[in-house]
Amino acid sequence: MMPRPLLQILLALTLLLAAKLLWDPRPGSTPDEQTSRRLDTLPKTYIDQVQTWSFDENGNLNDMLEARRVERYSRGDYSMITEPRLYSHSEDGRTWSMSAERGRFQHDEEQLLLRRNVILSHDQTGSRMRTNALDVQLSARTARGDRPVTIVQGDNRTTADGLVVDLEQETVLLKPNVETLYVPPPDPKTR
């Protein structure tokens, strides 16, 4: 008969060896299909309170982007942006401001897709354009929207089915069904 302490030690070692053989906490070399799908939906990286600047080849400021949060996804090479604000600068110092509730930046195409409560403003004239979707080609410095748009400047209001904006040339082309409500300025003689 074995002494009791030696029997307890051998029993403990046997249990440890059995646990080691049956339980391996290391993950498998390849995750299962369900885990792979979940991992694909998670961002690769994220940043809170973002400010970025882009410059042209001469060192002049082109664009400035601010956002509450940016999440970068490797599959599809895009970033999801929460509350993006874009400031686009032209060579003559004129600026356009854009904001939205959310956005998506396609890295390979240099395209910023703004969605929900989009506001595009020409900062020097005070014109404000409101829509729900605006696609901005940063390299071409253009913006296009195919959803109804409302343009407000002072008391004047214009609506259309969409628009195309050349940010460099500072031109706005309105799509069909344009309607304008023009409020003339007060006559200085009647004041």
Q: What is the pLDDT along the chain (191 residues), one digit of tens a residue?
A: 545 666 667 777 777 666 666 666 655 566 677 766 666 666 677 678 888 888 778 877 778 888 998 888 777 788 889 999 988 887 777 889 999 999 999 988 889 999 999 999 988 888 899 999 999 998 888 999 999 999 998 888 999 999 999 988 888 999 999 998 888 877 777 65
Report pLDDT for 137.
92
**Burial class of residue 159 in the structure, from the number of CB atoms within 10 Å of its CB (0-12 exposed, 13-18 middle, 19+ buried):** middle
Roughly how many angstroms between the first and final C-alpha of the chain, as a whole number? 118
Quick one: which of 149, 179, 178 has its CA closest to 162? Answer: 149
What is the distance between the alpha carbons of residues 51 and 53, in angstroms, rounded to a whole number?
A: 7
What is the distance between the alpha carbons of residues 107 and 103, in angstroms, rounded to a whole number?
A: 13
Beta bridge partners of 145: 163
Report pLDDT for 191.
59
Collapsing DSSP to helix, strand or coil, 139 comes out as: coil
Report pLDDT for 90.
76
DSSP letter, residue 96: E
Q: Which two structure tokens, joined as six digits, stand for 169?
A: 């040339």
Quick one: which of 37, 28, 101 has its CA closest to 75? Answer: 37
Amino acid at 182: Y
Report pLDDT for 45.
72
